[in-house]
Structure 1
């Protein structure tokens, strides 16, 4: 039926009904559905006849958001769990629906607010029937009890008024009696007082009896209501468990259905048209909140013949995977265990409930919520999959090299999937070296170059032809239910062959279930890996986790394009498990449309091959903070490192040994020492600034003058990094100036500050 024939929505009291086109899935697109708005709930059905028996979905408008996409489209979302992408037949009809939805939302929100303000966890009028009793009799019994309780409350109110009235009169009489002197009127006044006191006593007794009746009635019904409330809560738990099971089953069925539908569409492409409306029984889900930006299909057979040499190339690794021969040298044996994490009872909410909206770095956190490594060591973990850069350095094509760089940018998040502990905030001037030159051909150095905002500079160089550098500033906000961590800064990868220079930024990390439940980590956002030498680009998308999503969790997709925008490779996988790449043979605009009405690009690709897979965790990782094999070695003591190295940090060392109380005391000492050094540095900076203006002493009031404040960059200089403007993007960054490894060879650390 065309849009013009769709009937206009008709209001009926508080109910609003009408036909609306709803986005169902990527095979059928928008489908015509019958929507009913009633009592703050928006429900939909396939036909009007289904209203009596089958509801396809419902959204509570009290907590929903309503947004308008364009002239006829609008979206209703309920906190990510449900999202309806809707389209009206015309702009006027869409405006009628928006008006009705907004009014219903306002009413539902007011009703919910009243319910919240009353503090009632149990509403007798809306409570379902208690198991074993009919719903009608249950409702009648509750209504009768409410009427009786209301009558008793009115009796109490009447008695209260009478007590107030007679009490005031009695008080006046007593006052008059006190003011009288002994006279002939004393007897009359005393009798009057006695009469009024008697009336007051009678009224008080009536009130007491009414209270006793009210209490007896409340006690008689209290146990029954408690049982009903418990039954309601147990039923809700069962429904939540059932919903979770159904969601997983539906997710599996949908993936199987989509795979079968895609295979059938490919096989019968010439003999079949679009899916008919008779297949509506296969619809299981609403539209996904995060839609894929493109579609990949197997390349047509003629491509395999015409591009046989490309297929043959794809069957081989992109780059030579053989490692160059190395001399047999004895390597240091690294540890594979650390002391088990003590079984302390933790309550993160008790500490963070007063810190909503603050920077994470400014929240005084005990070591109980840390993991025994610093942020500098955590940053060095990005090099766990250094072999991706090694393989990229051997590539002859910049586009092939881009695939390895993009996979490397994703691999750094695989260590975070179970790591809910917070790394130690490095002290200003703290360093960390990771020397793996003999084993893996690279060595890296990190230094904390700023305290507020906290910033760490990192430089790694490999004998196999690549350099990695970055300066990361972590911005974080605690939002109550979740914690958002936004790494700011650019990562650079430079390859000697071809002088290819790549840059990208990190995505947002979110820690969920801060208040209640098990903590879990998610990564979401987009990354643009850019080759500034050739203009090649790879756009990666990290899909945020959605409980009702039909796709795999933690999914990452990307396309490698040249400077002209032509796609050459497609990347897909998950940031916690593996990534695959496939060669694009042809691209075209498909018949499917995204949420914004844009046509999706269809890429015909060769068979996908794995480019990266996460290393398995060591045995017993769950008792060792879920550290990887590399992370277990990061805090291992070494004699030749700088005195500012994180391995020498005493509070971190005590925590690793399981002595948390001592670690907390040591952490406070180090932080106070750092604050003292900072105040002294600021005092010296103020003295230097004001020396030419006044000879007066600088007191604390002058130090607190904001006009005389210096930022850490103004009065603090890093030891191993120079602050300058990045030649690629113009950002003010710290770049390694050299000298550290030479100082290590000489064992000469005279310039290192005393921070521990």
Structure 2
């Protein structure tokens, strides 16, 4: 009896899909995706599933009754046949049939008992599941309401604090003490479980002491710290940030339409994105600013005059100071810019043809979509060129978003042959759940001159509620190939950078915890770079700088793939956000279709092992090509030429139709 019951319960013909329904519908999702919110559509689907389960259980109950009824009828018929007078041969056959009918009755009873048990269990657990799901839904709604209330209270407290009459003034920024690279380097930022922006106590530190010029010369002469006379550097380093902006023959716009006052619950969207790559999540334009990532990359050139100044430096360590200030200046536009730039379409380009006022030409192209990667090349008539391929890796960590730009930045000065290489730091957007959004930069940057082996080690100190350091602080040291320090850099990535010439260095006495700092005797600080003030009404124009306001301005003669021609971005800039969202969906669907066609063309016999490799193999950039970088050992897209010649001829037949 038990054996028959086990066989029947495991039989796919008897139970089939019916036994699977409660498991697949109500077990946890093991697909690997993030938990989704319980939307009205989800609730309807749940009720529909439970209703189908109830109907199937009714069918099983009906089958139970029918089998019992027909089994009893069959047994009666066999009993009647046994009472008839029939030949002995037929009697033997009837006996066999009777035995088989008895076995069928036993098996049917076992199946009926199993169905009855299943029916009772399913009915009991169905009620439990419904109660549990209802409870979880209520708890989720209650949690969301609590978080929303906390956010409102947090904002009210912030406003009350800012308006309090007895509020102390912000402490003045001090550049006397700074921090240098930790042994962990950039890899320390990758631990998802560590809130690295709250712990900076173990960093290697230094102390600078400003001395009088006479003492410095005397000390310098005895120690031989530097062979460059500080007074000779004044012509290049002094007032480096006070260069007047060039006058353009073309009148550029100075404003864009004000940002519409759209209310949007950020948490309602971001709560489903924890741990996911943000570039793969469809986001409404409400989270964007009307610029593409290619245009944001071009914004790094806003303080190009620092590099124009650096061309005239005769000392490589002085030149390194200006290069370091330029690398820091690229972050100054991000302090208020918490909105997300548009993720460019594959093959999208952006040119900045400003030889007349900026003395440079810049070209960006989106060379990969997954992961999003952009190649950039800049030529300056003042004697330098810059190129990079930046891949954006971004993750939502729950309370904050980490944005990690991957890839090396190259800068070369034609006259001296000095070739500088560095990488970008990590950006973090805080207060995703509660409070006002704010952005911070953190991590270590090492700039290397591959011709002289001079180095600059910069540290972006992450903000901490418990730190005495000024917010957004940056410190660094410029040293030569022998490791001898020449300049100390200090400032903030959102305001200004200064450099102080080192005339003597020595180790300090060990502190109580056994740590030792380097003491640098320096001359008075010289201003390297100072941020331009924002345009009037910038708070209503996405906090765009003067340069950013001109980047999406319509221009004739650009390639048909240029970001200025992107329709959803243009509609958003005009304030038509609903139309922009519709257009964005159309473009994304068009891009997905093109991607499927490329992958199909790549074919199953391709050597590509992964989908991303297959996509990279199937797509070829138009103006850039993959080459091995001899300095970093990495493959990177480098400008291969032809764009400006095509623009001069207005021959764009090779450009793909992406908009």
Mark yes or no: TM-score above 0.5.
yes
Instruction: Please point out which of 449, 466, 471 is paired with 1:531.
Output: 449
Q: 2:298 matched to 1:380?
A: yes
2:61 maps to none
Unmatched 5+ residue regions in structure 1? 1-229, 262-285, 691-704
1:667 maps to 584
What is the CA distance between 1:685 and its match in structure 2?
Answer: 1.0
Paired with 1:484 and 1:336, the residues of 2 have a C-alpha distance of: 32
**Would the alpha carbon gap of residues 662 and 521 (structure 1) be closer, same or farther in structure 2, given more than 3 Å must change?**
same
1:606 maps to 523
**Would the alpha carbon gap of residues 322 and 612 (structure 1) be closer, same or farther in structure 2, given more than 3 Å must change?**
closer
Paired with 2:554 and 2:388, the residues of 1 have a C-alpha distance of: 25
The 3-state SS of whatever aligns with 2:475 is strand
The 3-state SS of whatever aligns with 2:356 is helix
**Would the alpha carbon gap of residues 330 and 405 (structure 1) be closer, same or farther in structure 2, given more than 3 Å must change?**
closer
Paired with 2:199 and 2:426, the residues of 1 have a C-alpha distance of: 24
Contact 1:320 1:394 in 2 (8 A): no
Give the number of aligned pairs: 481
Q: 2:619 matched to 1:716?
A: yes
Instruction: Please point out which of 674, 680, 684 is paired with 2:597.
Output: 680
The 3-state SS of whatever aligns with 1:464 is coil
What is the CA distance between 1:330 and its match in structure 2?
Answer: 6.8
| Greater RCO (Cα-Cα under 8 Å, separation 6 or more) | 2
Q: 2:265 matched to 1:318?
A: no
What are the superposed Cα offsets for residues 62-110 of structure 1, whole Å, 9 maximum, x if unpaired?
A: xxxxxxxxxxxxxxxxxxxxxxxxxxxxxxxxxxxxxxxxxxxxxxxxx
What is the CA distance between 1:742 and its match in structure 2?
Answer: 0.3
1:484 maps to 402
TM-score, normalization by structure 1: 0.59
2:658 maps to 755
1:555 maps to 473
Paired with 1:627 and 1:239, the residues of 2 have a C-alpha distance of: 24
Contact 1:299 1:585 in 2 (8 A): no
The 3-state SS of whatever aligns with 2:603 is helix
Contact 1:686 1:708 in 2 (8 A): no
Instruction: Please point out which of 360, 370, 373 is paired with 1:452.
Output: 370
2:83 maps to none
Please say which of residues 432-441 and 740-749 is displaced more in the overlay.
Answer: 432-441
Q: Where in structure 2 are the equivalents of 1:417-456 lying within 5 Å?
A: 417-456=335-374
Instruction: Please point out which of 414, 433, 439 is paired with 1:515.
Output: 433
What are the superposed Cα offsets for residues 585-626 of structure 1, whole Å, 9 maximum, x if unpaired?
A: 00000125497x431100000010100000100000000000
2:211 maps to 299
What is the CA distance between 1:304 and its match in structure 2?
Answer: 3.9
Q: Where in structure 2 are the equivalents of 1:135-146 lying within 5 Å?
A: none
Instruction: Please point out which of 606, 626, 629 is paired with 2:543.
Output: 626
What are the superposed Cα offsets for residues 649-701 of structure 1, whole Å, 9 maximum, x if unpaired?
A: 000000000000000000000000000011011111106749xxxxxxxxxxx
2:74 maps to none
Instruction: Please point out which of 318, 325, 341 is paired with 2:259.
Output: 341
Contact 2:307 2:322 in 1 (8 A): yes
**Would the alpha carbon gap of residues 489 and 593 (structure 1) be closer, same or farther in structure 2, given more than 3 Å must change?**
farther
The 3-state SS of whatever aligns with 1:631 is helix
**Would the alpha carbon gap of residues 301 and 408 (structure 1) be closer, same or farther in structure 2, given more than 3 Å must change?**
closer
What are the superposed Cα offsets for residues 270-328 of structure 1, whole Å, 9 maximum, x if unpaired?
A: xxxxxxxxxxxxxxxx99747562100013565345369834335443389799999x9
Paired with 2:242 and 2:463, the residues of 1 have a C-alpha distance of: 37
Contact 2:240 2:528 in 1 (8 A): no
**Would the alpha carbon gap of residues 248 and 708 (structure 1) be closer, same or farther in structure 2, given more than 3 Å must change?**
closer
The 3-state SS of whatever aligns with 2:318 is helix
Paired with 1:538 and 1:571, the residues of 2 have a C-alpha distance of: 9
RMSD: 3.5
Contact 1:319 1:394 in 2 (8 A): no
Paired with 1:395 and 1:631, the residues of 2 have a C-alpha distance of: 29
Q: 2:389 matched to 1:471?
A: yes
**Would the alpha carbon gap of residues 371 and 498 (structure 1) be closer, same or farther in structure 2, given more than 3 Å must change?**
same
What are the superposed Cα offsets for residues 421-442 of structure 1, whole Å, 9 maximum, x if unpaired?
A: 1000000000000111111110
Paired with 2:380 and 2:468, the residues of 1 have a C-alpha distance of: 42
Paired with 1:466 and 1:731, the residues of 2 have a C-alpha distance of: 23
What is the CA distance between 1:248 and its match in structure 2?
Answer: 7.8
Contact 2:388 2:407 in 1 (8 A): yes
Contact 2:273 2:396 in 1 (8 A): yes
Instruction: Please point out which of 726, 732, 736 is paired with 2:629.
Output: 726
What is the CA distance between 1:735 and its match in structure 2?
Answer: 0.1
Runs of 4+ in 1 over 6 A off after TM superposition: 237-248, 319-326, 705-709
Paired with 1:727 and 1:649, the residues of 2 have a C-alpha distance of: 36
